[in-house]
Structure formats: structure tokens, C-alpha cells
């Protein structure tokens, strides 16, 4: 266990150097009770004794969920890790999406209450490869294909979110759990082919030619490219965008991928909502063809060397 704990310590320090410098910072672990998150919990407890706490979100969607949360609490007690079960109400609609929203909102509240400096989740290399395939199927751009990042923010909050096992395989985390003599929870939704991710997971499992680690590294490379495009878009915005009166003027000089990011930023600033990528692409093509276009509640018009953006006038009742 010591060798793998040392490897995890290195992975954690790479994604969360603040924690390596300051052992007093509290690391929170989101633990569902499945093999991935349970493996992460065991690794974190071994690598950072006394500096870890955990939370399990009970969505109440399955009869077994309360018992699974109690099982995680028992494991945490044995490890000397403080644990809390967070019960949430999932709104009707897209179950996975609504559950995710409720889960992260509860975890953000928990972090604030407990003074947690960073929240770690158990996203791993297999998850990354699955995400890459799903987004390729949706014709995603560079930002989407970059998949999940090692560092980010808990949605709709200012709390740090880290993924220290993003370079690890699913089987490695399961082995950590098995070596500890623990039985992980079995969520049947992970076998429900009504979900895109499950179908992709099953297809990838049967592809023995697939190098999941290489796919995950490709996602990292795409994340680097995404960061470079953001950097270039910031420079383009600063040099070529000017607010004039009630509108915004943009004198484009950058390639399409960068100009689209500038357009998206302008629209979000005016409209208050981030536009979808396909809407931005349609707007760029229309403006390039010297045709006016609407994006949400924003109207964009082409002029000689400049594209103007304004809030659309309110329609009369």
C-alpha cells in the first residue's frame, strides 16, 4: 500500500501544490461508496493522515442509497476520517443532470461549513476516454474535447475542485479497494444502457486495441490547446473590442476559433448567458457573409471592418 500511497501523494501534489506546502489545509473527498471514490478515499487517508474529511451525497433515488451512505460512514470511522451524509432532493427532468446539480450544491455548502480547502473527486483515465468519445459523437470543439480538467471550481461556487486520479485507471482504484478487503457499492445505473456513457463504456471495454491512457493524454493535450486559445482570445478581445454607447464593436483580426471565443464573450456580457457553440459558429459564418444575425437576445450586424453587437429591442406585447 505504501508504494501506491506514495504515487498518489505525487499525483495530489501535482494537482494541489497548496496542500503539499500546507498540511493544515483540509482535503475533502466526495465518496459515493462505489469502487472509484472508495479507492480515492483510501489513498487520500493513507497519504494525508488527519488532513482528510469526506461527504456522501444521498440523492434518494434508490432504496439502497441510505445503506450505502452508512457503509461509507463506517469505513470513514475505521479510517479516522470525519464523514457527513448530505441528503438532497433531485428536481424532475434529466435525472443525471439534476442529480449532478443538487450534488455539487450540497458539497459546496458542506465545504463552506467545514472549512474544506479543496474537494477531490474520483474521475479517472477511463472516465476521460469515455467523455472524449461522447463529445466526439457530438462534434464538440476543442473545449469540449479537452474533457474534465485536473483543477477547476465546484459548479456555481468559488470552491476548488481537484481530480488527483485523472491519470489512474479504473482497475487500479478497484484494486486498492479489494486489497483493503472492502466491498464497494454497486449502482445498477452504471449498467443501464439508456445512458450514453454506459453504452460508450461497454463499447470501449470490448476494444482491446484501445490505449485508454493515450486517449486521456490526448485530452490533456487538448486542454493545453484550449488554454492557448483562451489566451489568444483574451489578447484579441483587449486589442479589438470596444464598447461604444449601448453596444459593443469588434474588429476581427484573428482566425475563426479565436474570433468565435471573442463573440461568445461579447454575447455573454450583453445577454448575461453563455451562448451555445453551434449558435456562435452560425453567428460567425453569418457575419463573415455580411449578414446580420441574432444570438439569444443579442443582435449582431456586420459593417466595414467591424461587427457590432447590441441587446435586441424588447418586442411589443
Specify the DSSP element, H or E, that contains 96. Answer: helix 95-114
Yes or no: say if 240 and 252 are a contact pair by the CB < 8 Å rule: yes
The rounded distance, in Å, linking the Cα atoms of 174 and 37 is 9
Is residue 35 part of an annotated ligand binding site?
yes
The rounded distance, in Å, linking the Cα atoms of 103 and 56 is 9
For 250, phi then psi, to 5°, come to -125, 125
Q: What DSSP string runs through 149-200?
A: -SEEE-TTSS-EEE-TTTTS-HHHHHHHHHHTT------GGGG-TTSHHHHH
For 187, phi then psi, to 5°, come to -90, 115
Is residue 97 part of an annotated ligand binding site?
no
Among residues 222, 226, 223, the alpha carbon closest in space to that of 234 is found at 226
| 275-284 contact pairs (CB < 8 A, 24+) | 277/140, 277/141, 277/143, 277/144, 284/256, 284/259, 284/260
The rounded distance, in Å, linking the Cα atoms of 274 and 264 is 7
Among residues 149, 144, 150, the alpha carbon closest in space to that of 278 is found at 144
The rounded distance, in Å, linking the Cα atoms of 164 and 259 is 33
Is residue 34 part of an annotated ligand binding site?
yes
Is residue 226 part of an annotated ligand binding site?
no
Is residue 50 part of an annotated ligand binding site?
no
Is residue 37 part of an annotated ligand binding site?
yes
The rounded distance, in Å, linking the Cα atoms of 205 and 290 is 48
Binding residues for ATP: 32-37
Binding residues: 32-37
Amino acid at each position: 500500500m505504501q508504494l501506491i500511497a506514495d504515487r498518489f501523494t505525487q499525483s495530489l501534489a501535482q494537482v494541489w501544490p497548496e496542500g503539499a506546502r500546507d498540511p493544515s489545509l483540509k482535503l475533502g473527498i466526495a465518496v459515493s461508496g462505489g469502487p472509484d471514490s472508495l479507492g480515492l478515499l483510501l489513498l487520500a487517508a493513507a497519504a494525508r493522515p488527519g488532513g482528510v474529511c469526506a461527504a456522501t451525497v444521498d440523492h434518494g433515488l434508490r432504496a439502497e442509497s441510505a445503506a450505502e451512505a452508512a457503509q461509507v460512514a463506517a469505513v470513514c470511522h475505521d479510517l479516522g476520517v470525519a464523514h457527513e451524509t448530505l441528503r438532497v432532493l433531485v428536481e424532475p427532468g434529466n435525472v443525471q443532470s439534476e442529480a449532478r446539480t443538487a450534488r455539487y450544491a450540497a458539497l459546496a455548502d458542506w465545504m463552506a461549513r467545514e472549512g474544506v480547502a479543496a474537494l477531490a473527486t474520483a474521475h479517472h483515465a477511463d472516465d476521460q476516454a469515455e467523455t472524449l468519445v461522447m463529445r466526439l459523437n457530438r462534434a464538440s470543439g476543442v473545449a469540449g474535447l479537452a474533457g474534465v480538467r485536473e483543477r477547476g471550481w465546484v459548479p456555481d461556487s468559488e470552491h476548488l475542485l481537484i481530480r488527483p486520479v485523472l491519470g489512474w485507471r479504473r482497475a487500479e482504484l478497484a484494486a486498492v479497494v479489494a486489497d483493503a478487503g472492502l466491498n464497494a457499492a454497486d449502482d445498477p445505473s452504471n449498467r443501464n444502457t439508456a445512458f450514453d456513457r454506459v453504452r460508450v463504456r461497454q463499447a470501449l471495454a470490448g476494444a482491446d486495441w484501445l490505449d485508454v491512457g493515450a486517449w486521456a493524454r490526448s485530452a490533456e493535450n487538448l486542454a493545453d490547446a484550449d488554454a492557448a486559445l483562451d489566451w489568444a482570445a483574451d489578447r484579441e478581445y483587449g486589442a479589438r473590442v470596444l464598447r461604444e454607447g449601448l453596444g459593443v464593436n469588434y474588429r476581427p483580426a484573428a482566425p475563426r476559433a479565436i474570433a468565435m471565443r471573442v463573440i461568445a464573450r461579447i454575447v455573454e456580457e450583453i445577454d448575461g448567458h453563455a451562448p451555445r457553440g453551434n449558435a456562435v459558429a452560425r453567428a460567425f459564418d453569418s457575419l463573415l457573409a455580411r449578414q446580420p444575425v441574432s444570438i439569444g437576445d443579442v443582435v449582431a450586424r456586420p459593417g466595414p471592418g467591424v461587427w457590432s453587437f447590441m441587446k435586441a429591442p424588447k418586442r411589443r406585447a
